Amino acid sequence: MNNILSELRRRNIFRVAGVYVVVGWIVMQVISVMTPALKLPDWVDSFFAVFIIAGFPIALVLAWAFEMTPEGVRRTETLSSDGSIAAPSRRKFDLVIMTGLILVAALVIGKFAFNPPTTNNPAQSTFTEIPGSSIAVLPFENFSTDADQDYFASGISEELLNALAKIEGLKVSSRTSAFAFKGQEKPIAEIAEALNVTHVLEGSVRKSGNTLRITAQLIDAKTDVHLWSETYDRALTTDNIFEIQDEITAAIVGELRGQMNFVVPQDDTLRANSVEAYELYLRARDNMEKRRREPMQSAIKDFEQVIELDPNFVPAHAGLAENYLLMIYYAGLDHEEAIALAKPLVSKALELSPNSAEALAVASYLAGREGETEKALELAEKAVAANSNYALAYHRKGLAHYTLGQLDSALAEYEKALELDPLSAILRSEITSIHFDLGNIAKAREIALDNIRWNPDSQFGHIGLGEISFLEGDYSTAHQNFKDAQARDPAQRLRQLDVFYIYLNTGLINRAREMAVSPYQEVMIHLATGELQKAKDLVDAISDPADKIRLAYYQRDYAKALEISEPFLGFIYPEGKPITNSEQAVVAARYAFAFQRVGDPRAEKFTKLVDEFIGDRQPEDLRFQIDLTVGAALQIIKDNLEGAYEWFEEGFKTGATSKLNLEEPIFDPIRETAEFKVIVARNDKILAQHRAAIEEQLANPDPKWVMPSTETKEDE
């Protein structure tokens, strides 16, 4: 035995083994870091591990047979015991090797001591019964050769998210927020902090022909420890896709809650019956979420194909209905047409699955669009009960409360939705609006700025800041924000209108003319320039009742304006519903004035609504120019002409009122007074400063801005 040990030492077997272990361990650490950083396939780690392990005995055999000497490689058996390395050098080399081995051993022991390995067996999970567990499902990466399969990888992630959202006691961050980090190389801890979750699920999807590989891994966001991971290789069928999703969901629930008996609720109406239908549905959802005209039109075709392939697939019916209703705002679809298209789809979705949160949420949205606000609230409450992790259900509930004038309740529901969907640009925009309706201007501005921070490619944060600036009478700042918003969605007609009204209200008439895309906008230009006859000549070209009402009002034809308004008044101003925002207050003041001019007793009702909106506030208590205009109008309606001047005077301390506001017929009783002419002159002076600032912005535009001469024209 002594001879064998001596021969092993002479042939440097122990030294080679020590060096191999230290170097091999270092190589594996480098590979484990670089594999995810370079987005290499999962098998790369395994390949190098097998290669290094297999190389160990080969290295020992070579060390037994050969030795590196100053004269080159020699067969070891021909060398004397000191023929290769001098004794002092051998001792130093041995010391280095021993130090390396001790460090490797310490690091391995430390890793197991402080981060015990987890098991794939949920019953033995070290994370059993964690209170308040929460998770975000990040968009799975597309490792398929076809880049167009991104929507498929994202769809797999969304289906996993939906399955986890049904787990009681598990908070799941919504798709909108989780997917905001797609393509961003941010640390898991930073993502988890932004989404306010304790765990993150990430993975990849590789689809090649009829085969599918899905890799998933669950990460503790606080420690960055991988709690669980698995790779699934299956044939590409819908059964296999859903089976993998169920297995991943069950494993995650096991890790977080120590449960072995998780079962995904089976509802055939919530799952597609073919791969083709499933892929079309994922692509349709992806296009609808873009909130732009062309993608949403493409979504219609895909949803319709899905329904043709699988008539009982509830998410397709609900998704197509939601797409139609959203197109009212984002694609210019006529309101009545959208409702007519959505209605049978909503009915079918509810018929197929009465307790589907998706079906109930879109049914709530439809009821709200039809003016059935109480029904909308009831349906939204049912959607929340069906899935307490469904952010859109709280969103729809908040919308119903807002429509009912219950701002505090609306804010509470929107904030619940935001907890589940913390990066949602649309939710943050809604909350911004509610805060400035409540007078919380600083908070509204803060949320709008956060919206821009978290959603730099979205228009909604800029819209919020633009609306605040516009209402404050800071038109040049509003212009900059509205142009920034328009740059993010050039085809969105509402953003074009925002910019159009900035030009109209500041007196940039030529700029406004360049942007006018409808007869009504042409009419508004004529009204702003006092060309009433030209406005009258275009009246037959206007189809929208609201536009006709406003035109008749500005032409001082109050009887006609009220006649056209009659069918809508009960809906717009139902009994017992207070005014909740400045825009409603302006319109109510117009109705009060018009009713007063024709001797209709309803003037008292609308005067009261405006009076209650202003309340006990004095001119110095209000910041918005439009509110100061409402205050002045209210004084004129009450026949307190001197009081009107006080409200205008306060307005000049903060900014300007729009050029068109001073053309309001309400101000006719004081229009020819010396005091009002001073008001107009002072206002024109302030507007001139804003005009100069806007022209300067247009002379040095942001490269992304759509310039007035090239802005897209479209039909009414």
- Does the pLDDT of residue 714 top 60, yes or no? no
DSSP run (H or E) holding 608: helix 602-614
Alpha-carbon distance of 443 to 71, in angstroms, equals 79
For a pLDDT cut of 70, what percent of the chain falls above it? 78
Give the mean pLDDT of 519-529: 86
Q: What is the pLDDT of residue 346?
A: 96
pLDDT higher than threshold 60 for residue 610: yes
Q: What angle, 0 to 180 degrees and rounded to 10, lies between the N-to-C axes of helices 460-471 and 475-488?
A: 160
Q: What is the C-alpha separation between 671 and 42, in angstroms, rounded? A: 77
**Which pair of structure tokens corresponds to residue 485?**
């918003």
3-state secondary structure of 219: strand
Separation between Cα atoms, residue 430 and residue 277, nearest integer Å:
34
CA-wise closest residue to 538 among 512, 567, 559, 518: 518
Per-residue H/E/C for 559-571: HHHHHHHHHHHHH
Above 60 in pLDDT, residue 388? yes
- Got the DSSP string for 108-176? HHHHHHHSPPP-S-GGG-TTTT-TT-EEEEPPPEE-SS-GGGHHHHHHHHHHHHHHHHTSTT-EE--HH
Q: Worst-scoring range by mean pLDDT, 2-6, 52-56, 483-487?
A: 2-6
Higher-scoring residue by pLDDT: 714, 282: 282
Neighbours of 398 (CB within 10 A): 28
At residue 56, φ and ψ (nearest 5 deg) are -60, -55
Residues 643-660, mean pLDDT to the nearest whole number: 78
| Residue 72 confidence (pLDDT) | 52
Q: What is the mean pLDDT of residues 571-589?
A: 84
Q: Coil, strand or helix: which one is 229?
A: strand
Question: How does pLDDT run across 414-472, given as a tens digit for each residue?
Answer: 999 988 888 888 899 999 999 988 878 899 999 999 999 888 888 899 999 999 898 88
At 626, the pLDDT band (50, 70, 90 cuts) reads confident
Quick one: DSSP state of residue 619? G
Cross-strand pairs, 225: 220
What is the predicted pLDDT for the residue at 11? 62
CA 369 – CA 363 distance, rounded (Å): 10
- Reported as a single tens digit per residue, the pLDDT across 500-511 is 999 998 999 999
Q: What is the pLDDT of residues 328-377, one digit of tens each?
A: 888 888 888 999 999 999 999 999 999 999 999 999 999 999 989 999 99
pLDDT at 289: 79
Place of tokens 């019956």: 273
Q: Which pLDDT score, from 0 to 100, does residue 10 have?
A: 62
Q: Assess whether pLDDT exceeds 60 at residue 262.
A: no
| C-alpha pair distances (Å), 213 with each of 208, 231, 374 | 9, 7, 47
Q: What is the mean pLDDT of residues 598-613?
A: 94
What type of residue sits at position 442? A
Q: What is the pLDDT of residue 264?
A: 42
Give CA separation, 602 vs 132, 329, 574, 608, in Å: 54, 32, 13, 10
pLDDT at 86: 47
DSSP class of residue 73 equals E
pLDDT at 244 > cutoff 50? yes
Q: What is the pLDDT of residue 332?
A: 80
> What band does 634 get if pLDDT is binned at 50, 70 and 90?
very high
Q: What are the tokens at 461?
A: 């944060």
Between 412 and 371, the more confident residue is 412
- Residue 673 carries which DSSP code? S
Q: What is the CA radius of gyration of the chain?
A: 34
Of 493, 561, 477, 512, give the one whose Cα is nearest residue 659. Answer: 512
pLDDT above 80 (res 562): yes
Top pLDDT among 489 and 634 is at 634
**Sign of the Cα pseudo-torsion (610, 613, 618, 624, in order):** negative
Cα–Cα distance measured from residue 532 to residue 554, given in angstroms and rounded to the nearest whole number: 9
95-147 pLDDT, tens per residue? 666 666 666 566 555 544 544 433 333 323 222 333 357 888 888 888 876 66
Per-residue pLDDT at 604 exceeds 90: yes
Task: Determine contact, residues 657/683, Cβ cutoff 8 Å.
Answer: yes
Select, from the ranges 126-130, 289-293, 625-629, 700-704, the one with the highest average predicted confidence (pLDDT): 700-704
Q: Which domains does the chain have, with CATH numbers?
A: 2-114 (no CATH), 123-266 (3.40.50.10610), 268-353 (1.25.40)
Q: What is the predicted pLDDT for the residue at 309?
A: 92
Q: How far apart are CA 624 and CA 656, in angstroms?
A: 10
> What is the predicted pLDDT for the residue at 462?
95
Split at pLDDT 50, 70, 90, the class of 384 is very high
Question: pLDDT at position 401, please?
Answer: 93
| SS3 category, 191 | helix
Q: What is the mean pLDDT of the chain?
A: 80
pLDDT of residue 531: 84
Q: Give, for 232, the enclosing helix (H) or strand (E).
A: strand 225-235
Query: Is residue 617's pLDDT more than 60?
Result: yes
pLDDT for the residue 436: 81
Retrieve residue 285's tokens: 């959802």
Q: What is the mean pLDDT of residues 699-710?
A: 78
Span 149-162, average pLDDT: 73
3-state secondary structure of 233: strand
**Three-state SS sequence of 460-527:** HHHHHHHHHHHHCCCHHHHHHHHHHHHHHCCCCHHHHHHHHHHHHHHCCHHHHHHHCCCHHHHHHHHH
The more confidently predicted of residues 348 and 160 is: 348
